[in-house]
Amino acid sequence: MEHSDEYYINCEDLFKIYKIADLEVVALRGLDLKVRPGELMAIVGASGSGKSTLLNILAGLDQPSAGRAYVGGRDLLLMNDGDMVEYRRKHVGFIWQQTGRNLIPYLDAVQNVEVPMVLNGVAAADARERATELLTAVRMDHRMHNHPNQMSGGEQQRVSIAVALANNPPLLLADEPTGELDSFGADMVYEIFTDLNRDFGVTIVIVTHDPEIAARVDRVVAIRDGRTSTEIHRRTEFDGGTPTVHHDEYVLVDAAGRLQIPREMLERLGINERARVIPSDGAVEVLPEERRKRSK
Ligand SMILES: Nc1ncnc2c1ncn2[C@@H]1O[C@H](COP(=O)(O)OP(=O)(O)O)[C@@H](O)[C@H]1O
Ligand SMILES: [Mg+2]
């Protein structure tokens, strides 16, 4: 697979295997994911399904074991340590669930936003100007000189978003950014992601447990057991001027033609181990095995 400009993120058949002593944990098993430039999308899945593993790989915090992973034309499997440092500093912004992990407690909001720029060699006056702009974009300009312990969790996450965008990365990754927030704080964080995506064209990938997420983003991809399984698209139709939002659900088909049928559906149909696949008019039927009477 070559990199193509059509996708900002392009993962194919991605594997991540953690080895602890003699034990192997397969966290990603042949995962495919494509994200277009300027998309606002979310990844959902049960705990342990591989969401954080995927996000850490996309953030350049960890390396995959096998497969293909391109972000903005960079091959993540070929990056050396120096490339990874450069990538993390300029090309991707990351937001952790734990508010305390994103901010330096003894610095105020504007100083926190300046840190990544100063590390990147930006002059102090320019850093201050950009930090002020970013804090305005996350609606925290009235709290520029507050320290993290003087802010609510939601306010800290908004400052964290400004910190993540300090060096103007085209990609923002957030691992359960609203996991520790009340619904008001979470709503504000989602509104800011929507603004940043619309106004600055930042590509945004949010990992979440929030079942309401489909209403907030263009597309939701579900991960099961280290693979992407289904996705939901948001589509707005205008019926005589009134916008109506529709959600279309799809099962993903990988490069080898495999698709995952949700377990509940298989159980309802009584399918296990093998099924009959029969072409019918413009469709394919998936049926349980025929149960024949055993001949004597
Ligand atoms: N550093 C690690 N070492 C060993 N196993 C890990 C490590 N990180 C994650 N895992 C395992 O990989 C699987 C996926 O974990 P994770 O990506 O954190 O899932 P999620 O974020 O969806 O809850 C889990 O079985 C988890 O225990
Ligand atoms: Mg996680």
Task: Give, for 205, the enclosing helix (H) or strand (E).
Answer: strand 203-207
In this structure, are residues 57 and 10 in contact, taking their beta carbons and an 8 Å threshold? no
Q: How far is the CA of 175 from the centre of ligand 2 (A)?
A: 7
Number of H helices and E strands in the chain, helices first, is 8, 13
pLDDT value at residue 265:
86
What's the average model confidence in pLDDT over 29-41?
Answer: 95
Question: Which two tokens mark 42?
Answer: 């979310």
pLDDT value at residue 31:
94
pTM above 0.85, yes or no: yes
Q: Quote the Cα angle for 99-104-108, to 5°.
A: 100
In this structure, are residues 248 and 232 in contact, taking their beta carbons and an 8 Å threshold? yes
What's the rounded Cα separation, in Å, for the pair 109 and 150? 10
CATH 3.40.50.300 placement within the chain: 9-251
Q: Which atom of ligand 1 is nearest to the CA of 175?
A: 21
Pocket test for ligand 1, best of 15, 18, 28 (most atoms within 8 A of CB): 18
pLDDT value at residue 237:
86
Residues 6+ apart with CB under 8 A from 83: 74
CATH number, domain 9-251 = 3.40.50.300
pLDDT value at residue 65:
95
Looking at every residue in the chain, the average pLDDT score rounds to 91
% of the chain beyond a pLDDT of 90: 68
**Residue 10 — very low, low, confident or very high, per pLDDT cuts 50/70/90?**
very high
- 218-275 tens-digit pLDDT: 899 999 889 988 888 888 888 788 888 888 888 888 877 888 887 788 899 999 889 9
pLDDT value at residue 296:
53
What's the average model confidence in pLDDT over 136-165?
Answer: 96
pLDDT value at residue 289:
87
Q: How far is the CA of 77 from the centre of ligand 1 (A)?
A: 19
Residue bearing the CA closest to ligand 1, atom 4:
18
pLDDT value at residue 99:
84
Say which residue the tokens 């070559």 belong to.
Answer: 2
- 169-214 tens-digit pLDDT: 999 999 999 999 999 999 999 999 999 999 999 999 999 988 788 8
Pocket test for ligand 1, best of 19, 52, 205 (most atoms within 8 A of CB): 52
pLDDT higher at 106 or 286? 106
Q: 221, 248, 222: which is closest to 234 by C-alpha?
A: 248
Q: 104, 92, 90, 74: which is closest to 10 by C-alpha?
A: 74
What's the average model confidence in pLDDT over 22-46?
Answer: 95
pLDDT value at residue 133:
97
Ligand 1 binding residues, C-beta < 6 A: 18, 20, 25, 27, 45, 47-53
Largest CA distance in the chain: 90
Whether the per-residue pLDDT at 279 is higher than 80: the answer is yes
Q: Which atom of ligand 1 is nearest to the CA of 176?
A: 21
Q: Give the type of residue at 294.
A: R
- How far apart, in Å, are the Cα atoms of 95 and each of 44, 156, 193, 236, 275? 16, 11, 12, 29, 43
pLDDT value at residue 214:
83
Using only the alpha carbons of the chain, give its radius of gyration: 22
